[in-house]
């Protein structure tokens, strides 16, 4: 079991917002004709179909995730890009087609160090950096995010899955900010390290080798490849005034329930308004999914928006057991929480 040193955790007071809009820039699915079915707990649901004046272009999807987050508090807005998909081609294409204004981006957030979330990062920065504020931070869960990842290719060959190039980002005036503890952003907060206290097991097939931090095993210190325990994974969250906590899991490798409970613990908010993102249950057995849904139901969310790596078995189970909470997402969807 991974242990993190809790020493030096800063005092934390989470911000609140009046409104939050989450736009899906990259996801693993695009449905052009999905209807805008309202939900009583959401201010608005919009799905992007044909783009005005761009009838010869279309949004594209790939295995990955990228979200545009826009919040308002007392008339003042803040915007972040959370994750960047697998390739720069898709995130840049969709960012342009969705007419998101790069000049209004206040910061970048990366949920963890998997290529389907960071693969488009440098290409996105290369394309839009000159339009963004001079001082631009990239919020990450810890230094571990920059380690090289390894995966099994067909035939069980072990191959590199790459690593984030911190030097190249810094050269583009993108300053990584490591957030192993809960971190306040403009309107948002990140959870920091997510404790693992539920029945859930760490998912995902990536492996790591090198490292010298206190949570590394002897095998890692000896350079042997071991399963990545994702100490760098953190969630991005908001507290919507009068509604409650919105938790964005991104990929949920350390568990959907663990992630939600971490957000509740650091914020002091136990009213779960919404959870959205990838839940990484696509390969989970049905018994595991059933237990996840039971524990999620006990947390009583108003809205659940599965994306990316969640998997159809979880969605089917959610629609059967908690139908009033389910909201479908596709590339281009925008969900507005709050007034």
What pLDDT does 339 receive? 81
Dump pLDDT digits (tens) for 156-182.
888 888 899 999 999 999 999 999 999
pLDDT at 140: 98
Between 329 and 212, the more confident residue is 329
Task: Provide the residue count of the chain.
Answer: 339
What pLDDT is recorded for position 12?
80
Q: Tokens 């998909």 belong to which residue? A: 85
The predicted pLDDT at position 57 comes to 93
Give residue for tokens 């539920």: 198
Least confident of 139-143, 220-224, 242-246, 315-319: 220-224
Asked if 232 and 220 count as a contact pair (C-beta separation under 8 A), the reply is: no
Q: What is the arithmetic mean of pLDDT over 7-32?
A: 88
Instruction: Using the predicted structure, report yes or no on whether residue 17 has a pLDDT greater than 70.
Output: yes
Alpha-carbon distance of 1 to 205, in angstroms, equals 17
List the end-to-end C-alpha distance of the chain, in Å, as a whole number. 42
Domains and CATH numbers, the chain: 19-338 (3.60.15.10)
φ, ψ for residue 43 (rounded to 5)? -70, -35
Tokens matching residue 17: 């917002």
Q: How far is CA 40 from the centre of its chain?
A: 24
- Above pLDDT 70, what percent of the chain? 93
CB 76 within 8 A of CB 99: no
Q: How many Å apart are CA 269 and CA 41, to the nearest integer?
A: 18
pTM exceeding 0.95: no
Q: Which of 80, 18, 22 is nearest to 276 (CA)?
A: 22
Chain mean pLDDT for the chain? 92
Condensed to tens digits (0 to 9), the pLDDT of residues 260-308 reads 999 999 999 999 999 999 999 999 999 999 999 999 999 999 999 999 9
How much is the pLDDT for 172? 96
What is d(CA 227, CA 114) in angstroms, rounded to the nearest whole number? 13
How crowded is residue 127: how many other Cβ atoms within 10 Å of its Cβ? 16
- Confidence band (pLDDT; 50, 70, 90) for 215? low
pLDDT band for position 219 (cuts 50, 70, 90): low
Find the range with the poorest average confidence among 10-19, 120-129, 169-178, 309-318. Answer: 10-19
pLDDT at 1 over 50: no
pLDDT at 7: 40
- Pick 79 or 55 by higher pLDDT: 79
Q: Among 22, 25, 47, which Cα is nearest to 36's? A: 47
Query: What's the whole-number mean pLDDT along residues 112-139?
Result: 97
């Amino acid at each position: 079991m991974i242990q993190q040193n809790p020493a030096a955790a800063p005092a934390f007071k989470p911000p609140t917002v009046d409104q939050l809009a989450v736009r899906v820039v990259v996801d693993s699915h695009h449905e052009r004709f999905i209807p805008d079915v309202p939900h009583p707990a959401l201010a608005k649901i919009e799905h992007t179909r044909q783009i005005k004046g761009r009838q010869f272009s279309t949004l594209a999807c790939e295995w990955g995730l990228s979200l545009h987050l826009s919040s308002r508090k007392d008339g003042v807005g803040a915007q972040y890009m959370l994750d960047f998909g697998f390739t720069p081609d898709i995130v840049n294409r969709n960012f342009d087609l969705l007419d998101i204004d790069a000049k209004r981006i206040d910061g970048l957030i990366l949920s963890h160090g998997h290529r389907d979330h960071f693969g488009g990062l440098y290409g996105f920065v290369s394309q839009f950096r000159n339009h963004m504020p001079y001082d631009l931070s990239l919020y990450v869960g810890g230094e571990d995010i920059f380690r090289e990842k390894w995966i099994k290719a067909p035939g069980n060959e072990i191959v590199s899955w790459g690593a984030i190039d911190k030097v190249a980002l810094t050269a583009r005036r993108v300053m990584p900010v490591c957030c192993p503890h809960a971190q306040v952003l403009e309107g948002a907060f990140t959870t920091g390290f997510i404790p693992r206290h539920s029945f859930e097991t760490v998912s995902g097939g990536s492996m790591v080798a090198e490292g010298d931090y206190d949570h590394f095993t002897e095998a890692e210190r000896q350079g042997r490849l071991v399963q990545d325990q994702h100490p760098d994974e953190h969630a991005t969250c908001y507290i919507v005034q009068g509604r409650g906590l919105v938790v964005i899991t991104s990929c949920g490798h350390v568990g959907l329930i663990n992630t939600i409970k971490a957000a509740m613990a650091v914020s002091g908010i136990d009213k779960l308004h919404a959870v959205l993102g990838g839940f990484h249950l696509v390969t989970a057995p049905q018994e595991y999914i059933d237990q996840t849904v039971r524990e999620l139901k006990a947390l009583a969310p108003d809205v659940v928006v599965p994306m990316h790596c969640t998997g159809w078995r979880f969605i089917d189970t959610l629609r059967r057991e908690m139908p009033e909470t389910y909201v479908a997402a596709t590339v281009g969807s925008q969900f507005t929480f709050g007034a």
